[in-house]
Each structure stands twice: as structure tokens, then as C-alpha cells.
Chains A and B, each alone.
Chain A
Amino acid sequence: MKLKKQDTFFICGLLAGSLLFGSALALGRTDGETVVVRVSGEMVAEFSQNRDTVYRIEGVNGEINVLTIQDGEVWLEDANCPDQLCVHQGHIRHAGESIICLPHEVVIAIEGNTEVRSTLDIVAS
């Protein structure tokens, strides 16, 4: 039952190693989901949700939407579309959420690990 000193080191080392490795994976996962920008169905840019960013999106016909990512919140700060629905939609922050600008065919989606929505195939709305 008595453990030798090197056995204890070995076990502690293994445990510490696995904890480090496990937490590295966990951190890697939560280190910002990915904010994906698509125009007419084609991906044009992607950003980490945790890195503050301002990005000028060129939508169809060169029309403009301004994407802002700040403190994990994602929103369209400005757009020259007629309805402004995308700007008024406000902020999103959870994986699975999206902002769509129909006139400019722009989709902003937070992709990554979702909670309730991850078990869903789609949402009827």
C-alpha cells in the first residue's frame, strides 16, 4: 500500500498533465465561438467572438453593412439598406443565433457549441 516517492510523482504528473490538457481543450472551445459572415451564401469572413472587431461587409451590389464585435456581443452597427431591420435586430451573443440583412443578402451567424438549439435540426418561425 505504501507508495514510493517516484510513484507519487508519476501519478501527480499524469493527473496534472491530463488536467492541463483537458482544460486546454475546454478553453479552446470557449475561447470565443466563431462569427461567420456570408454574402449570397458564400463565406466572406470569419472572426473570433472574443476579439473586438469592426468590419465593413460588402453585400450584394457593393452595399454596406458594418459589423461590430465587442465584449462577445455581435451586431450590425450601420447599414445602407432601406429597411434597417438588420440594424434594429440588436445584439446577438449565443451560438446558433444570426442576423440577416435580406436586401444585401448578408448573414451573420455565430457558429459553435449551442445549448438548447444544438439538439434541434431547425426552427420554424
Chain B
Amino acid sequence: MIVYLLKRLILAIPTLLIASFLIFSLVHIAPGDPIRVMLGQYQDPELIARLREAMGLDLPFHVQYLRWLGKVLQGDLGLSITVKRGASVAGLIAQRFSVTVELATFSLIIALLIAIPTGVISALRQNRLSDHISRIIALAGVSIPNFFLGILLILFVGVYLRQPWGAGGYVPFSRGLGRNLAHMFLPAVALGTAYAAIIMRMMRSAMLDAMSQDFVRTARAMGIAPGDIVRRDIVKNALIPVVTVIGNSIGYLLGGSIVTETVFRLPGVGNLVIMGVFRRDFPVIQAVVLIIVVVRIIINLVVDLTYGFLDPRIRYGGER
């Protein structure tokens, strides 16, 4: 187990190096320049050159990359250029990280609450009306982009129903958990439904697969009650592949939060990276994307470990 964990952590190193290189390259290849954004209408060539030199933007590409990488390895994510000039990027991320984590967690909970029961019911009532209805809803859920759903929700709840919590914006925990959660609800729904649809479809097919297994027939032949068979034979075995999908969705949730946070004006990490992109704030974009990569690697690892917990065949892999 510990050996496995170490192996996975060592394997993560080349992944991170390649990711860091790609992130850095993409940011620098993309057109636009933070200095020009910073100076606005006063575009003095001499001033531009001086600022470029001061920030090291005139150095050759590989030197810039290695400098950045060296600092990142020491835990220094650099200073923001345009989003909040001179502020440490690490500090900016730290301020906003909790918002994104809250959004992602809330969305995931909503997704699971919708997906697991509907997936189970859909499979148990295969090809009946309730199955068809949930599959149509699932298809709609996957197809509607979450930013669009977000706009619709704001229009309906915020504008039409005139609910203060339905118009976007963020209320910190310090001003009451209830209000905080109320404001988080619509963004979490907008973000969660698409994943609910993906997880539900996976749950349904994993259930159908488990239902056709021989051990289900054995359990029936032993007179086990149907509810018990659903719980311990079907759902328990169906969850194994679904956990992988759930794990992957957490990664997507972090990515999806970028758009959702913008639609709902939530001051999260996704919102930060959008600002970074608009204002060509290289250190901010690089740091945020890198952190998303790190989080995904960690989540994948956690998912793999959960897998072993659910499936004894993996846990005791070597032993017979």
C-alpha cells in the first residue's frame, strides 16, 4: 500500500513537469502582453522596454521558463502583474480557494444526490416510463452548457422570482452559513446537473451490468430479499466503476467552476484565472492552472485508493 502510494507520487513528477512546460508555453505563445494591458493608453515604447526588462519578459523563452520553474519549486508562485499589481499570486489563490472548493463540493453533493438514486431507479425499472424520463433528463443535463443553465437560473430565480440569493454574488461564511449556502445553491445546481447526468448514466449502465451477473442469480436462488440483493449485490458492485467517473468529475468540476464563477460573480479561483487571461497576467494564469493540475493528480490518487476500498480484489491484489 505504502509502496503503491510512493510509486504513484513518483510517477506524478514527470506529469507535473510536462504540465508546467505546456502551461508556460501556452501562456507565452498566446498573443497579448501584460505590459501593454498595464499601460493602457499610454503606450511609450521606451517605458515598455524598461518594464519588460524589469520583469524579465525580455529574456529568452527557456530562461524565463527555468526561472519560473525554479521559483515554483521553492514554493514561490510569483507576483501578480495586472490583476492586483504586486500582490503575491499564492496569496490571491489562497483567498479564493475556499470559494471554489465550496462550489465544487456543493455541486458534487447535488450531483450525487440526483445521480445515484435516479441511476438506480432507472436501471431497476429498465425501459419503463420512469427510466425513459430520467434518461431524457440526463441527456438534457449533459447537453445544456452549465453557463447557459446558470443564466437561465439567474433569470428565473433572481429576476422573475426576485429572490436576493438568486442573482449571483457571494456571501462569506462570516455573515451566516445560511446566506452563504443560499447564494451557493444556484451555482452548485448549474454546475452539478451536468455531472449528475454523467454519473447517472454511468450508474445506470453499471447497475444493469451488475444485475446480469451470476452472483445475483445465486442470491435469488438462496431466497435473499430483493432489497438486500439490490443493495449488497447490485449497487455495491455497480459503484466500483462509478467511483472512477465521480473522481474524474471532481476534476471537471474544478474546470467547470471557471465559467460558473464568472456567470454568478463568485470570487473563486476560476474567476481569478479568467481575470488573469483577460489582463494577460502570466504568473496568475500559470499558477492557477498548475494548481488545478496538482489537485487533479491528488484526486486521481484518492480515487484509486477508494477503488481498493470498494473492491477487495484490488486491495489484496498480490495475495491469494
Chain B binds chain A: no
> Which residues of B are in contact with A by a Cβ distance under 8 Å?
none
> Which residues of A are in contact with B by a Cβ distance under 8 Å?
none
